[in-house]
Amino acid sequence: MSSILDAMKQAELESQNSHVTEEVTHTRLVDNTPRFKSVFPMAEVPVDETRPASMDGVVGAAEAIVDLYRMIDRVADTSCTVLITGESGTGKELLARAVHGASPRRDRPFVAVNCGAIPEALLESELFGHARGAFTGAVATKQGRLAQADGGTLFLDEIGELPLALQVKLLRVLQAREYSPVGDTRTLSADVRIVAATNVDLEEAARNGAFREDLYYRLNVIHLAAPPLRDRPEDIPALAGYFLERARVKAGRDRVTKISRQAAEMLCSYGWPGNVRELENTIERAVLLSGGSVIEPRDLPPKLQGFGGSEARTGPRLSDRGVDLRKAVETFENQLIRQALEKTNWNKKRAAELLGINRTTLVEMLKRKRIEAA
Ligand SMILES: Nc1ncnc2c1ncn2[C@@H]1O[C@H](COP(=O)(O)OP(=O)(O)OP(=O)(O)O)[C@@H](O)[C@H]1O
Ligand SMILES: [Mg+2]
């Protein structure tokens, strides 16, 4: 774990946090120093994890995401097949690009094919190419995506939609690294890494015959499960900051630089069925709608109204992956302590009163937890 990477990551987190500010209701908070850090769980994310440089552009420090960085790092120097699963908008394509970027194939093409978007009749020729005269309209020889990806990575999106006939042909690519273009008797060799993605349960599809079981096992050598955003709400502030930065540049709205505390709470409390893509679109829209420099609740879509604020707070949600209870309690405790300190302008006596503990107990806790004024 390199300390330079640690430092870079820390700096990245801090700059992302700096997009979110308190409402200016407290004199201490009028300046632009990062406040979000001390209010949201981001501050408690361990910063001793590194990630491959190729993960640039992938934002997230939640345990489930850090596991993915680790896995991508571990298989970086191989060409093993990778299967990425996850709900729509969770970042499957971004992860596929990260796998490519971390591999020695990074200087060769990354070619994406959406198996669900191309009509079945065209898909075979799209993937494998065709010979001249192979079918009506095949007026010239055409190179397939497999050949275009030579030496690089072929990303097969929505692999669950691949017709059974083509599943056999893909199996041949995976097993023997060879294929034949449509209407061509030659056998060509394929030097590609296959990364496939799906939001359907392929194991289930294999059980009921919609997907070849042998292909499923061949694809599922390394499995990356992109977590839904609702299972990693601690990443929402950083993602929101990241998308804000991108959106203000894209829309030429330089003046929009902050997200108000209330709007940030709404973002953190919403369930995000459309995952990261929905958050990205929401921020883009808010940047366009915002009349000032701060994104306010009124700039967020109606479906988010009613989320956030103390009355709508439902407390932490237990994800399917479970939780480290001690860490979670510690995080919660640290957040309340930081809030008490901020509210009292770091007056430890008054902060201790707000927390219902002795001043000396608070001082001891601050020392043990290494909490200092920003
Ligand atoms: N961790 C992340 N950090 C930064 N941006 C992200 C992250 N995850 C997703 N995004 C962004 O969210 C959008 C959706 O991501 P992506 O297209 O990779 O999702 P997907 O899982 O392939 O979605 P679908 O199943 O709908 O195809 C993209 O603009 C992507 O850049
Ligand atoms: Mg996708």
CATH number at residue 23: 1.10.8.60
Task: Say if residue 169 is in the same domain as residue 91.
Answer: yes
Amino acid identity at 95: L
Please indicate, yes or no, if residue 318 is contained in any of the structural domains.
no
49 lines ligand 1 (CB under 6 A): no
Reported as a single tens digit per residue, the pLDDT across 177-218 is 999 999 999 999 999 999 999 999 999 999 999 999 999 999
Task: Say if residue 195 is in the same domain as residue 120.
Answer: yes
How far away, in angstroms, is 275 Cα from ligand 1 center?
8
Please indicate, yes or no, if residue 278 is contained in any of the structural domains.
yes
How do strand 188-189 and strand 258-259 relate by DSSP bridges? unpaired
- What domain range includes position 283? 1-34+239-304
**Is the predicted pLDDT of residue 64 greater than 70, yes or no?**
yes
Task: Say if residue 256 is in the same domain as residue 200.
Answer: no
How do strand 82-85 and strand 222-225 relate by DSSP bridges? parallel
How far away, in angstroms, is 37 Cα from ligand 2 center?
31
Instruction: Tell me which residues have their CB within 5 A of the ion that is ligand 2.
Output: 93
Question: What's residue 137's pLDDT?
Answer: 86
Task: Among 286, 304, 322, give the residue marking a domain's end.
Answer: 304
Please indicate, yes or no, if residue 232 is contained in any of the structural domains.
no
| Pocket probe mutation, ligand 1, options 94, 157, 232, max atoms within 8 Å of Cβ | 94
CA dist list (Å): 305 to 207, 241, 247: 42, 20, 22
Task: Among 225, 259, 278, give the residue marking a domain's end.
Answer: 225
- Whose atoms come closest to the Cα of 68: which ligand? 1
Please indicate, yes or no, if residue 55 is contained in any of the structural domains.
no
In angstroms, the first-to-last Cα distance of the chain is 26
CA dist list (Å): 369 to 5, 228, 235, 341: 23, 31, 22, 14
Reported as a single tens digit per residue, the pLDDT across 340-363 is 888 888 999 999 999 999 999 999
Task: Say if residue 102 is in the same domain as residue 163.
Answer: yes
Reported as a single tens digit per residue, the pLDDT across 295-318 is 999 999 988 887 765 444 445 666
pLDDT band at 53 (very low <50, low <70, confident <90, very high): low
Alpha carbon 175 to its chain's center: 31
Task: Say if residue 174 is in the same domain as residue 98.
Answer: yes
